[in-house]
Amino acid sequence: MGSLSSIRFLAYATLAFGLAQLWTKWRRVARSVGNLPGLVTIFAPTTLASNLLPRIPLITKGRSREIETGYADFAVAGCDAFAHRSTWPRPDVMLYVADPGAIKEITTYRSRFPKPVEQYGVLAFYGNNIVASEGEEWKRYRKISAPAFSEVSLAICRVRSVAHIHPAKSNNKLVWDESVRILLDMIENVWNRASSVSIDHVLEVTLPITLFIIAAAGFGRRMSFTEELTVPPGFTMTFKDALRVVSEGVLIKLAVPKRALGLTKRFREVDIAFEQLQKHMLHMIRSRKQSPGEDGGHDLFSSLLGAAFNDADDEPTLADDELMGNIFVFLLAGHETTAHSLAFCFALLALYPEKQDRLFEHIKSVMSDLDHFPQYQDMARFTYSMAVFNETLRIRPPVTVIPKYSEEDTTLNVKDAEGRTRTIPVPKGTAINIHTPGLHNNPHYWESPSEFIPERFLGNYPKDAFLPFRPRACIGRRFAETEAVAILTILMSQYRVHVKEDPKYAAETHAETHARLLRSVNGLTTTPIDIPLTFERRM
């Protein structure tokens, strides 16, 4: 009996000692960031449990907390930064920042605040790339990729083993022209110019449109809604099908271990599609290597391929896996990000018919004939289309958190609720998250931030408080803007959009409909859950 009591005493003593140590570490972590207020959970935000489980007070943060709460956590903390303290897998703290000045410092001084590249490794399916890299390697990828996104992109041709650089057709013009072609194809051959088209989820429209655009502008492969393709010899999937399945199955590839990809039909299809897309890209590389003067164009793949095989000593080069890796991340950005943002765009226009009316009146003032689609040179005149897109990005930013960390002991200055400066100590190694929804809903910089007001982007607006695309002047920003403005302008010139009628929601208030249509979940980007809309043809 005495020995049992001794064992029990020992167990209690060990537990008490462990808890005391945990408390000591916890207090040390809190003091390290100046006892900044914020969230407390058992599981750290980066753990699997925190990303799979819903928001549970004191247990998990929840996968979509940032987009659901906006600026609310900062308001509770009383300043434009808050701390998230957690105990598992170890006592730690993570800073969230929504102060434009602090964010500008974080994104400007890359050597002091680098990105944690290990968190991006999952995007290197085919090879290293501009997203999964940092420092000199990132600079090299950007130098190679930037010309393809410029207004006058540089195509590098190899003629008789000598590299010649000549101005090529703008890749952005190609994006615009393909948008026009694909939308006309959809209106004529899918919607059959019907007076009314109801869609259960608007992603059924935006995803294939943006996929076809990135196929043409990214790979030089034109696609349509009606084409019937045969599988080429040596392949089990067409390029079109492989591209579609890969774009839809990225999260499966990310989350499911390789050995488990054979468990279901869907998993196997995704696994095969990734292998087939790689095979198609390698075939394209070999074909253009063997015939450098042929099969080239103004697409991103051709531009990167030219850089990859440029033999000038003072120019960077890309290996095959790096070429495929960079094309893959541009595929994700050009397809999923724009498709999701446009889905939210149409939802907001349906929710705010007066803004939709103003957009249509603006389009009419620019287009002399609504029966003829606009040209790329007209894009700059569609200022309200761009304003609608920007306001959508403010309300539903594609990326809700941009991770960084401190490479040295430093400090950050943020504003408190009264506008005073608060200095936060930031020890070396501290994880820092740029909180995009908090920044975009910061009431110190945005008037009525919860309202859909495209007009705020027609004049001067707080540019440092607007970060829809990642920092460093996102290389594909103009590409995405061109794609979005073309699709938005053309569809809204031909159709009016409203929320699809459903008896189940007949008694719903505007606020409830607003909340339902803008529900989202964090995937690779902010993903709409369900947006049922009806497009009615303008007479």
DSSP 363-384: HHHH-S-TTSPPPGGGGGG-HH
Mean confidence (pLDDT) of the chain:
85
Residue 19 exposed, middle or buried by CB count within 10 Å (0-12, 13-18, 19+): exposed
Question: Is 494 within 8 Å of 502 (Cβ atoms)?
Answer: no
Phi/psi at 16 (nearest 5 deg)? -65, -40
Residue 115 exposed, middle or buried by CB count within 10 Å (0-12, 13-18, 19+): buried
- The answer to whether residue 263 scores a pLDDT higher than 50 is yes
Domain ranges of the chain: 135-398+468-537
- The answer to whether residue 119 scores a pLDDT higher than 90 is no
What's the rounded mean pLDDT across residues 511-526? Answer: 92
Other C-beta atoms lying within 10 Å of the C-beta of residue 10: 10
- Residue appearing with tokens 């302008």: 489
- Residue appearing with tokens 């909340």: 515
With bands split at pLDDT 50, 70 and 90, how would you rate the model's confidence at 235?
Answer: very high
Beta bridge partners of 526: 522
pLDDT by residue (tens digit) across 152-164? 333 323 222 222 2
Measured CA to CA, the distance from residue 385 to residue 383 in angstroms comes to 5
Question: Is 304 within 8 Å of 130 (Cβ atoms)?
Answer: no
Please give the biggest Cα pair distance in the chain.
97
Q: What is the pLDDT of residue 19?
A: 66
> What pTM does this model have?
0.88
Beta bridge partners of 155: 166
Q: What is the pLDDT of residue 307?
A: 65
- The answer to whether residue 470 scores a pLDDT higher than 50 is yes
Measured CA to CA, the distance from residue 532 to residue 458 in angstroms comes to 29
Q: What is the pLDDT of residue 475?
A: 65
What's the rounded mean pLDDT across residues 234-263? Answer: 84
Question: Is 341 within 8 Å of 399 (Cβ atoms)?
Answer: no
Q: What is the pLDDT of residue 305?
A: 75
CATH fold, domain 135-398+468-537, is Cytochrome p450 (1.10.630)
Q: What is the pLDDT of residue 167?
A: 30
Least confident of 18-22, 31-35, 392-396, 499-503: 18-22
Question: Is 493 within 8 Å of 360 (Cβ atoms)?
Answer: yes
Q: What is the pLDDT of residue 31?
A: 85
Q: What is the pLDDT of residue 112?
A: 95
CA distances from 67 to 63, 305, 447 (A): 9, 38, 18
Single out the residue of 65, 107, 111, 68 nearest to residue 84, CA to CA: 65
Q: What is the pLDDT of residue 163?
A: 29
- The answer to whether residue 295 scores a pLDDT higher than 90 is no
Most confident of the following: 48-52, 176-180, 302-306, 331-335: 176-180
